[in-house]
Structure 1
Amino acid sequence: MSDTGYGDFEFERRFLARDVPARLLETAPALIVQSYYLADGGYALRVRAQASSVDVPVDLRTDEVTLLERFADAVDFCAVTVKGPMAGGTRYEAEREIDAQVGVEMVRRGGARVAKLRHSVWLGDDGWVVDVFAGANAPLVVAEVERGGPVTDLAIPGFCVTEVTEDARFANDALAHAPFGAWADAYAAELAAAGPRFLPGFGHDHRMSGAYDR
C-alpha cells in the first residue's frame, strides 16, 4: 500500500524509445526476468526475479531462461504482483516481496517470461527507467516515468518516439505471450504510416530541451 493517498494504484506513462544516448546507459543496469502465470485482458499475476546490478556484458539475443540461469546467484529481489488493466495512465498494482530463492524457482518452473535490462536515470524533474528488452522481445526499448499521482505536464525526452501507455501490445504481460520481435517490422510500418502519438489530457506536456533531447 502506498502512502500517496491512492492506495495500490500506480501512475505511469510509457514510450517507445530509439537511439537512447549512450551516456544514459553507462551505469550497471538491473536484470529483470518476469514470469506471468496469468495475463488476460490486462489482468496479470506476475513473479519477478531481479539482480539489482549487472556489471558484465549481456547478449540481448540470449533467451529469457538462459539469462535467469546465468544470473540466478545474483538475484537479490523477488516479488509477486497482481495487476489490473491500464486506464488513463493508471493501473492497479499490488506487490509483495518474497524470498529470492523461492522467486527464482517460481520463474524457472512456470509462466510466460520477459527479460530486460533496466537503466534508472534522472531527466529533468523525473526519475525514468529505460528498459532494454532481451530474448524474444529484442530489440524493443521502452522508457517509462512513474509518479505518486497522475503524470501531467511531462517533459518528454527526444528519444521517446511515440507514447505506448495505452497500447496493450506493449504491456509486459502482453509481450510475454506475443513478443515484440515477431511483430517489430509490422509495427515500424504502422508507425511510419500513422505517425507518432502522444496522449492528450495530461496537462502541458512538452519536449525536453538540452542534453537529453537527442
Structure 2
Amino acid sequence: MRDDLSDFEYERRFFCHAFPADLDDGDAPILIVQSYYVHQDNFALRVRLQAHNVRLAMDDQTQAIATLQRHRDAFTDASVTVKGPAIGGTRYEAERDIDPDVAVELVLRGGSPIVKNRYSAWLGEDGWDIDVFGGSNAPLIVAEAERRGPVTDLVIPDFCVTEITDDVRFSNDGLAERPYALWKEQFEYELLTTGPHFLEGFGTNRREKH
C-alpha cells in the first residue's frame, strides 16, 4: 500500500507483439482481475484482486468474471484505487488495501472488468511488468517500467514494439471500457502505416536486446 506522499505513479508503457519466452521461468505469474466503476476523461475508480498461483493460457479467451468465479479462493490480495488523468508518464494513483472477500463481491456486482496475467522481470536497469491480457482484450501484451520518479533515460528492451504511454486506449480503464478486440485491426493498420514511435521528452531512449 502506498502512503500519502507516494500517491503518484511514474511509468512508461509499450505495446508488444509477443511475450518474450525466455522471461517465463516456469513459475505461475500473478493473476489479476480488476473492475472499473468510473472510467471517464481518464479518471478511474478501480477494485483489483490478485492471485499468486494461477496461470491463464496465452490464448485464453476466458472473460474476467468467469475467471474470478473459477478461482475465487485463490485471490489473497485486494485493493481499491482512485486514479487521475495520465500526463506524460505521470498519474495520480491513491491505492488502499481492502478485504479480498469484499473485493470479490464488488467485482461480481458491477463495474467493467478485465483479466490478465502479470509477469515480472529485472531487465538492465529497471524492473519490468509484462501483462498478458485475456478475455476480449486478448491477445494484447503490454510491458511497463515503473519508478519512484520520472522514467528517464530508459533502456527499452527489443520486444517493445512501440510506446503507448500517452495512448489512453491502452490504459487499463480504457481497455475496460473499449476492449482491444474492437480496435485491434485499426491499431495494427496505424502501426503499419506510421511506424513505431518512442517519446522523446524523457532523456535518451536506448534500445537493447534483453
Give the alignment's TM-score, normalised by structure 2.
Answer: 0.95
Amino acid corresponding to residue 23 of structure 2 in structure 1 = L
Q: 1:94 to 1:205 in 2, by over 3 A?
A: same
Aligned to 2:13: 14
| Distance across 1 between alignment mates of 2:200 and 2:92 | 21
For residues 107-128 of structure 1, what are the alpha-carbon distances to aligned partners after superposition, in whole Å with 9 as ceiling and x for unaligned?
A: 1110001110000111111110
- For residue 7 of structure 1, report the CA deviation from its aligned partner: 3.0
Contact 2:63 2:114 in 1 (8 A): no
- Which has the higher mean CA deviation after the structures are superposed, 17-26 or 106-115? 17-26
Count matched residues: 209
The 5 Å alignment of 1:1-214 reads 2=2, 7-26=6-25, 27-54=27-54, 57=57, 60-209=60-209, 212=210
SS of the residue 2:87 aligns to: coil
Q: CA deviation at 1:205?
A: 1.3
Q: How far does the alpha carbon of each residue in 1:76-121 deviate from its partner, in whole angstroms, 9 at most, with x for none?
A: 1010000001101000000000001111111111000111000011
Percent of paired sites with the same residue: 55
Which runs of 5 or more residues in structure 1 are unaligned?
none
Structure-2 change in CA distance of 1:35 and 1:55 (3 Å): closer
Aligned-residue Cα RMSD (Å) equals 1.6
Q: Secondary structure at the match of 2:161?
A: strand
Structure 1 window deviating more from structure 2 (64-73 vs 91-100): it is 64-73
Distance 1:162 1:59 in 2: 22
CA 55–38 in structure 1, closer or farther in 2 if over 3 Å, else same: closer
Q: Compute the displacement of 1:57 (Å).
A: 4.8
1:16-71 per-position Cα deviation (integer Å, ceiling 9, x unaligned): 01233212123311110111010000100000011122257575211111111111
The unaligned stretches of length 5 or more in structure 2 are none
CA distance in structure 1 between the partners assigned to 2:29 and 2:191 by the alignment: 29
* Distance change (3 Å), C-alpha of 1:2 and 1:97: closer
Contact 2:29 2:52 in 1 (8 A): yes
Q: Mark the CA change 1:132 to 1:58 in structure 2 (over 3 Å): closer, same or farther.
A: closer
Q: Structure 1 residues 76 and 8 mapped into 2: Cα distance closer, same or farther (>3 Å)?
A: same
Q: Which runs of 4+ in 1 moved over 6 A?
A: none
Deviations 1:162-210 (CA, angstroms, capped at 9, x unpaired):
000000000000100100011101110011001001001111110013x
